[in-house]
Amino acid sequence: MPQFLITYLGGEQPSTPEEGKQHFAKYQAWLSSLADAAISPANPIKNTHTVHPDGKVTAVSTTAMSGYTIIEADSIEAALAIAGDCPFLEVKGSLEVSELIKMPG
């Protein structure tokens, strides 16, 4: 079955700890609803560094990516429907959905 990468971009921080708990509960419920389709759920990222073509490294991100989830779905349309239900959209975050290509080897 095809695998898809859901990339989390942007999003607003909760204004209170209670709001954060409520959002996290919705997000956990969404992940649970994916069951076995969630291959690698809830992968936040931090401490991003950029390696430039000249070898220089900067401790600055060039993207708004804040995390990712890998799912299995029958098609890109099915993956988009799954992403469309993600509560991350409620905090004004965007999601990119990409099909992962299996490389030989």
Question: Worst-scoring range by mean pLDDT, 1-5, 43-47, 98-102?
Answer: 43-47
Q: State phi, psi for 99 to the nearest 5 degrees.
A: -75, 135
Tell me the whole-structure pTM to 2 decimals: 0.90
Q: Within a 10 A sphere around the Cβ of 82, how many other Cβ atoms?
A: 22
Give the CA angle between residues 19, 25, 30 to the nearest 5°: 130
pLDDT tens-digit map of 27-73: 999 999 999 999 999 999 999 999 999 999 999 888 889 999 999 99
H or E segment to which residue 17 belongs: helix 17-34
CA distance 55 to 48: 16
